[in-house]
Amino acid sequence: MYTHAIKYRVCYADTDKMGYVYYGNYARFYEIARVETLRSLGVSYKVLEDNGIGLPVFEHYSKFHAPGLYDDELTVICHVTQLPSAKIEFSYEIKNEDLLLINEGKTTLVFMDMAKKKVVKSPEWIINALKPYFN
């Protein structure tokens, strides 16, 4: 498994009328974390897209344990749970400043040839970037 963490400060625009992080923003936090997780491996979404490969979300799951609040500094921990094939799976843990788990989730994305609109296998260079973290 490969793990990478980012920090995110909750801004006013992230919250609802109750001062809680609006539930739809957790998907955005996942996206930020997975883009940075891949970047930490030398894998760029931009390079993928420039080569005609997209990564649309196929599945999304989110479970809420406690609210995120305005001005909280969140830690979003992203795990690549297995070597990619035609899909790549991520799991997430979001913790507040007190290290309380406030949210956990999973997403599955597929590698897609954007010109053909067909699912394809992961580029070999992505698999090679992740191989050292899996036995």
Position 135 scores a pLDDT of 78
17-38: b (≥16 Cβ within 10 Å) or e: eeebbeeebbeebbeebbbebb
Q: What is the pLDDT of residues 49-79, one digit of tens each?
A: 999 999 999 999 999 999 999 999 999 999 9
Instruction: Tell me the C-alpha distance between 119 and 111, whole Å.
Output: 6
Name the domain count of the chain.
1
- Average pLDDT over every residue of 92-101: 98
For 9, the domain range is 2-133
What is the percentage of the chain residues whose pLDDT exceeds 90?
99
Using one digit for the tens of pLDDT, what is the confidence trace for 113-128? Answer: 999 999 999 999 999 9
Compute the average pLDDT of residues 12-28.
96
Closest alpha carbon to 6 in 26, 36, 27, 28: 36
Give the tokens for residue 77: 């921990």
Contact 84, 122 (CB under 8 A): yes
The model carries a pTM of 0.94
* pLDDT at residue 14, rounded to an integer: 97
Residue 94: CATH number of its domain: 3.10.129.10
